[in-house]
Amino acid sequence: MKIAFVYDVPYPWHMGGIEKINRVEAEVLANENEVHFFTMQWPGMKKDFVDHNIHYHTFFPVTTETFYRHKRRSIRTAIFFSLSLFRIFRYRFDVLIIDQFPYLHIPIALLYGKLKGCKVIIRVAEVWDKGYWNDYAGKIFGNAGYYISKLFVGKGDVYIANSSLTSDRMHKILHIEKKRISIFTPVIDNFLIKNIKNEHITRKYDVIFVGRFIKEKRIDKWLEIIKELKRINKNINTILIGDGPEKNEIKNIIKKSGLKENVKIIPHIKKTGELYRVMRSASVMLNMSEREGLSMVTLESLSLGTPVVIPTYSPIPNEVKSMCIVEKEEDIPKRIIGILNGKKTEKKIKNYENLKIFYISYINDFYKKIFKRIL
């Protein structure tokens, strides 16, 4: 089969949960199919090239600075990416697998599907109501985004939701029939993680965060927790791994809070094995995010044996939350101290057996069922 992935941010040139899922699925499917990937041209990418059997086609050069404007996705880059997608009409594919972001590309993908007889699978990680759209993009662009999402997202042939929560919101807000939605999130490389866990890795950091430095991740609250932990233990040792538009603000908070000796910041670690070793070396993963479709890094942390602490307001779906340590925001420092003072932090992880539904080893079987249904 000929399969095309369409997404403006590719892994590992841009780091993120959805990006990594796309890459892993493309790699696995490329073992038995011809797989192409249409995306923007990030630093270090050629215009057209092959990597891990995936045929990449890039257009419209972009950097982190131009991709984000006013600490959110640039509407300008979304427009240029979407218009550039007309290049896909030079090719013929059996299936398009696209992400809902940045929305403006969806009608072009649907037009391609109609004219070329190609099935369009839309992956959905988050569903925003009108209120959240307006908070994110302002009233004018927010309303436009909300109605565009309602108009076009529901026109796909089949959907892949990353969680039961997302599936429910797709049905409630976008009015997509449940029978058209499959839930699947292959985010755990169970083969690699098994090897990492067999290595002797000592606990080096007390608390860790991995992800994009954007306001929705609430790293400001994360640092407030660390500040409180320092009052209890002045030698608390933590690390932030990532990058994003909030980076300078985070550095300012660290400086003003007197946490320079307690919080280490390093950029994204591109090699998965190296990242997993650092995550494994932490005693606790703290995730204060107020917006998550699933939280891939949470699942990775849990699978590596590093317990995850989240606040009660966390939007992480129940199938993931049930494996985490959930506390009121004000009680989190005390709970973390308890974990750090205890033995065998891995035993703090609940319902460990639930991780199996997120293994990448199920990718081929899942897509074979999808393809059989729609082709």
Which domains does the chain possess?
Answer: 2-186+359-374 (3.40.50.2000), 190-357 (3.40.50.2000)
3-state DSSP call for residue 154?
A: helix
The per-residue pLDDT of the chain, averaged, comes to: 93
Distance CA(197)–CA(305), nearest Å, equals: 8
Q: Kindly state the average pLDDT of the residues 32-45.
A: 97
pLDDT band with cut points at 50, 70 and 90 for residue 84: very high
Tens of pLDDT, residue by residue over 39-63, are 999 999 999 999 999 999 999 999 9
Residue 72: predicted pLDDT = 82
Q: Which of 72-76, 272-276, 362-366 has the weakest average pLDDT? A: 72-76
Tens of pLDDT, residue by residue over 275-312, are 999 999 999 999 999 988 788 899 999 999 999 999 99
Residue closest to 214 by CA, chosen among 279, 158, 291, 323: 291
Q: Kindly state the average pLDDT of the residues 136-141.
A: 87
3-state DSSP call for residue 49?
A: strand
**Could you give the angle at the alpha carbon of 184 between the alpha carbons of 179 and 187, nearest 5°?**
170
Residue ranges with strand state E in the chain: 2-6, 34-41, 48-51, 54-61, 68-69, 72-73, 95-99, 119-124, 158-161, 181-183, 205-210, 238-241, 263-266, 282-286, 308-311, 325-327
Strands 48-51 and 54-61: antiparallel
Q: Kindly state the average pLDDT of the residues 359-370.
A: 93
Residue 179: predicted pLDDT = 94
Residue 132: predicted pLDDT = 87
Sign of CA dihedral 12, 15, 17, 22: negative
pLDDT band with cut points at 50, 70 and 90 for residue 346: confident
Strands 181-183 and 95-99: unpaired
Residue 193: predicted pLDDT = 94
Residue 299: predicted pLDDT = 94
pLDDT band with cut points at 50, 70 and 90 for residue 33: very high
> Please, is 98 exposed, middle or buried when counting C-beta atoms within 10 Å of its C-beta (0-12, 13-18, 19+)?
buried
**Length of the chain measured in residues:** 375
Residue 17: predicted pLDDT = 80
Tens of pLDDT, residue by residue over 221-269, are 999 999 999 999 999 999 999 999 999 999 999 999 999 999 999 999 9
Q: Kindly state the average pLDDT of the residues 201-207.
A: 94
Q: Kindly state the average pLDDT of the residues 338-343.
A: 87
What predicted TM-score, i.e. pTM, was given to this entire model? Answer: 0.73
**Residue that wins the pLDDT comparison between 63 and 17:** 63
Q: Report how far apart the first and last C-alpha atoms of the chain are (Å, whole number).
A: 11
Q: Which of 17-21, 30-34, 257-261, 262-266 has the weakest average pLDDT? A: 17-21
Residue 345: predicted pLDDT = 72
Residue 237: predicted pLDDT = 97
Q: Kindly state the average pLDDT of the residues 52-81.
A: 91
DSSP string, 166-216: HHHHHHHHS---GGGEEE----B-HHHHHHHHTS-----EEEEEES---GG
**Cβ atoms within 10 Å, residue 258:** 10
Residue 71: predicted pLDDT = 75
pLDDT band with cut points at 50, 70 and 90 for residue 78: very high
% of the chain beyond a pLDDT of 90: 77
137 and 72 Cβ atoms separated by less than 8 Å = yes
Residue 64 has phi, psi (to 5 degrees) of -55, -40
Q: Kindly state the average pLDDT of the residues 89-102.
A: 96
**Residue that wins the pLDDT comparison between 350 and 209:** 209
